């Protein structure tokens, strides 16, 4: 097979880079590759099988650039942070102004904003890639940030390699300028934490509150996966609950330590939400719960001191399904509101329906409900999802069950931070006359911060200010 000189290159043949390079080659695009450790490049080429003729393995960055025809587009798949800055600096002497470097790692979007504004001597984009190694190899979700003309240059490649939604649409799109792609990926990861936490909360109610075994819980998740909750995470929860431990022959779930790991991407989202002043209590609760999960010793001491939580709640399985539906809507409403706030703050034209569409396949949070979210956001991209008629109807239907579940958890000592955080936010958001008038009074009392009056009169301080 004669190889056309590639216009696409890739740096960093680790887990993700190797899978992405094979995916690109498989879709018919010749690709030049380079890795810091040269033997990895050779091994990659040797293992590329029938795709090897489309792969040009290079030993130096100068070779990589020389092996490509301009204008070049080079994807970086190296660890976020210093490695990206180092690679940009090392590539700079070899590249032309019209060449494009694409950081496809999990960069902090502030870094991507900084790099985009730093006057690099070539074009630059930051893209979020979701779906892990399997996604990278066979179809990731791609959230691209940067200038639209650079997206247009790469759209053919990214759409070809991306996962396809049920309607055939590629899950790759331009999210907005500069760090917008990496920002959307961060929010995706925060929502991933929240979806996982809410599923684990209803699992806990089934296990501890209803006394169900893992093998009884598995078919419940499987059934939910046939309905409104159809999603990758509910599907794999059924598989996890149903798995048998080859050592004991009992449920595998029962022998897994209850301390969740994290790489910190959910924490980034929570921190950024605080910076933006936008509430995402479901995601924050999920980050908190992972942190609590790792404190096994303290939790054991707590149980020894206070006794185990009272068992058994009086709930129907339907209540749990409805609560999960409500919690999910509330979580996504918060996530999209956070992106609306970021668009304003950073001057990005974030395409909200496109974000929902891109998440429909290839990524961990893929779910049927994202179709309805894309539809609701198409009608009004900046309206909070809880105010969209379709989701308002669903919330009217499901929040009574969410209340029953949260109340049962509170009464019986089952911690449900994400579900109850979502419900508290919902109740605040549906209350026209809130309670912050008391806070404003207190702030004026001790700090003369002043307040506005409902009647518009000009008396900005309380009587305590007179003295």
Query: Which member of 3, 4, 5, 37 binds ligand NDP (CB under 6 A)?
Result: 37
Give the residue with the Cβ less far from ligand NDP, 87 or 369: 87
Query: Minimal distance in Å, beta carbon 360 to ligand NDP?
Result: 18
Calculate the alpha carbon distances from 264 to 89, 190, 191, 335, 427 in Å.
27, 10, 13, 17, 29
Residue 352 is a binding residue for ligand NDP (CB under 6 A): no
Among 27, 45, 63, 83, which residue sits at the site for ligand NDP (rule: CB under 6 A)?
83
Asked if residues 349 and 183 have their Cβ atoms less than 8 Å apart, the reply is no
Residue 41 sits in the site that holds ligand NDP (CB under 6 A):
no
Residue 36 or 443 having the CB closest to ligand NDP? 36
- For ligand NDP, the closer CB: 57 or 285: 57
Number of shown-chain residues binding ligand NDP (CB under 6 A): 22
Comparing CB distances to ligand NDP, the nearer of 30 and 105 is 105
Stretch that binds ligand NDP, among 14-22, 61-69, 215-223, 312-320 (CB under 6 A): 14-22
The only residue of 51, 52, 71, 80 in contact with ligand NDP, by rule CB under 6 A = 80
- Of 10 and 354, the one with the shorter C-beta distance to ligand NDP is 10
- What is the number of the residue whose Cβ is closest to ligand NDP? 14
Nearest to ligand NDP of 90, 248 (CB atom): 90
Q: Binder to ligand NDP among 6, 33, 34, 35 (CB under 6 A)?
A: 35
Does 86 engage in binding with ligand NDP (CB under 6 A)? yes
Q: Binding string to ligand NDP for residues 215 to 254, with x set by CB under 6 A, is what?
A: ----------------------------------------
- Minimum CB separation of residue 35 from ligand NDP in Å reads 5
Residue 61 lies near ligand NDP (rule: CB under 6 A): no
Instruction: Decide if 20 contacts 161 (C-beta within 8 A).
Output: yes
Among 21, 22, 78, 161, binds ligand NDP (CB under 6 A): 78
Q: Is 79 in the site for ligand NDP (CB under 6 A)?
A: yes
Binder among 8, 16, 33, 61 for ligand NDP (CB under 6 A)? 16
- Indicate whether 401 belongs to the interface with ligand NDP (CB under 6 A): no
Contact positions with ligand NDP (CB under 6 A) in 126-155: 129, 132-133
> Which residue in 26, 27, 36, 407 binds ligand NDP (CB under 6 A)?
36
Which residue in the set 6, 12, 146, 335 belongs to the binding site for ligand NDP (CB under 6 A)? 12
- What is the 3-state secondary structure of the chain? CCCCCCCEEEECCCHHHHHHHHHHHHCCCCEEEECCCHHHHHHHHHCCHHHHHHEEECCCHHHHHHCCCCCCEEEECCCCCHHHHHHHHHHHHHCCCCCEEEECCCCCHHHHHHHHCCCCCCEEEEEEEECHHHHHHHCCEEEEECCHHHHHHHHHHHHHHCCECCCCCECEEEEECCCHHHHHHHHHHHHHHHHHHHHHHHHHHHHHHCCCCHHHHHHHHHHHCCCCCCEHHHHHHHHHHHCECCCCCCEHHHHCCCCCCCCCHHHHHHHHHHHHCCCCHHHHHHHHHHHHHCCHHHHHHHHHHHCCCCCCCCCCHHHHHHHHHHHHHHHHHHHHHHHHHHHHHHCCCCCHHHHHHHCCCCCCCCECHHHHHHHHHHHCCCCCHHHCHHHHHHHHHHHHHHHHHHHHHHHHCCCCHHHHHHHHHHHHHCCCCCCHHHHHHHHHHHHCCCCCCCCCCCCCCCHHHCC
Stretch that binds ligand NDP, among 32-40, 376-384, 392-400, 456-464 (CB under 6 A): 32-40
Give the residue from 120, 80, 109 showing the smallest Cα distance to 180: 109
Which of 149, 177, 192, 303 does the annotation list as catalytic? 192
For ligand NDP, the closer CB: 175 or 326: 175
Cβ nearer to ligand NDP, comparing 105 with 145 = 105
Contact 33, 20 (CB under 8 A): no
239 vs 193: CA distance, rounded Å: 19
Per the residue annotation, which of 82, 149, 177, 185 is the catalytic one?
185
Question: Is residue 226 flagged as an active site residue?
Answer: no
Q: How many CA atoms lie within 13 A of 420 on its CB side?
A: 15
Q: Which of 7, 8, 10, 13 binds ligand NDP (CB under 6 A)?
A: 13
How far apart are alpha carbons 287 and 270 in whole angstroms? 8
Q: Is 178 in the site for ligand NDP (CB under 6 A)?
A: no
192 flagged as catalytic:
yes
Tokens 């169900």 appear where? Answer: 212
Paired tokens of 316? 């129907």
Does position 106 bind ligand NDP by CB under 6 A?
yes
Instruction: By CB under 6 A, name the binding residues for ligand NDP.
Output: 12-17, 35-37, 40, 77-80, 83, 86-87, 105-106, 129, 132-133
For the annotated catalytic residues, the residue numbers are 185, 192
């Amino acid at each position: 097979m004669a190889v056309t000189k590639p216009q696409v290159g890739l740096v960093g043949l680790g887990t993700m880079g190797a899978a992405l390079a094979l995916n690109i080659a498989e879709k018919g695009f010749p690709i030049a590759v380079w890795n810091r450790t040269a033997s990895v490049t050779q091994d990659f080429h040797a293992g590329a099988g029938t795709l090897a003729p489309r792969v040009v393995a290079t030993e130096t960055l100068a070779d990589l650039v020389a092996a490509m025809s301009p204008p070049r587009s080079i994807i970086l798949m190296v660890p976020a942070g210093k490695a990206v800055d180092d690679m940009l600096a090392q590539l700079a002497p070899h590249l032309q102004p019209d060449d494009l470097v694409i950081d496809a790692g999990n960069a902090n979007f502030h870094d991507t904003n900084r790099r985009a504004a730093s006057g690099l001597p070539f074009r630059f984009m930051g893209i979020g890639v979701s779906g892990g190694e399997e996604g990278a190899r066979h179809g990731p979700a791609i959230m691209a940030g940067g200038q639209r003309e650079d997206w247009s240059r790469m759209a053919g490649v990214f759409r070809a390699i991306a996962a396809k939604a049920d309607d055939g649409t590629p899950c790759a799109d331009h999210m907005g300028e500069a760090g917008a792609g990496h920002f959307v990926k961060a929010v995706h990861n925060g929502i991933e934490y929240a979806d996982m936490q809410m599923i684990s909360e209803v699992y806990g109610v089934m296990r501890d509150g209803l006394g169900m075994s893992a093998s009884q819980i598995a078919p419940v998740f499987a059934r939910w996966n046939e309905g409104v909750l159809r999603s990758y995470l509910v599907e794999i929860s059924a598989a996890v609950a149903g798995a048998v431990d080859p050592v004991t022959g009992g449920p595998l779930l029962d022998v897994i330590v209850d301390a969740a790991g994290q790489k910190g991407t959910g924490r980034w989202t929570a921190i950024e939400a605080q910076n933006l002043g936008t509430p995402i209590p479901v995601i924050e609760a999920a980050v908190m719960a992972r942190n609590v999960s790792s404190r096994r010793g303290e939790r054991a001491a707590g149980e020894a001191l206070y006794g185990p939580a009272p068992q058994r709640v009086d709930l129907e399985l339907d209540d749990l399904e409805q609560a999960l539906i409500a919690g999910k809507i509330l979580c996504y409403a918060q996530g999209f509101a956070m992106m609306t706030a970021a668009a304003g703050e950073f001057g990005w034209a974030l395409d909200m329906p496109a974000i929902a569409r891109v998440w429909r396949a290839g990524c961990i949070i893929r779910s049927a409900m994202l179709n309805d979210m894309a539809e609701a956001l198409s009608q009004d991209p900046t309206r909070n999802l809880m105010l969209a008629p379709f989701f308002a109807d669903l919330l009217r239907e499901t929040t009574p069950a969410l209340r029953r579940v949260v109340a049962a958890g509170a009464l019986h000592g089952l911690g449900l931070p994400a579900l109850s955080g979502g419900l508290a936010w919902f109740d605040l958001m549906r209350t026209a006359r809130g309670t912050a008038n008391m806070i404003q009074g207190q702030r004026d009392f001790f700090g003369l911060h002043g307040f506005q009056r409902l009647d518009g009169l000009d008396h900005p301080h309380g009587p305590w200010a007179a003295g």
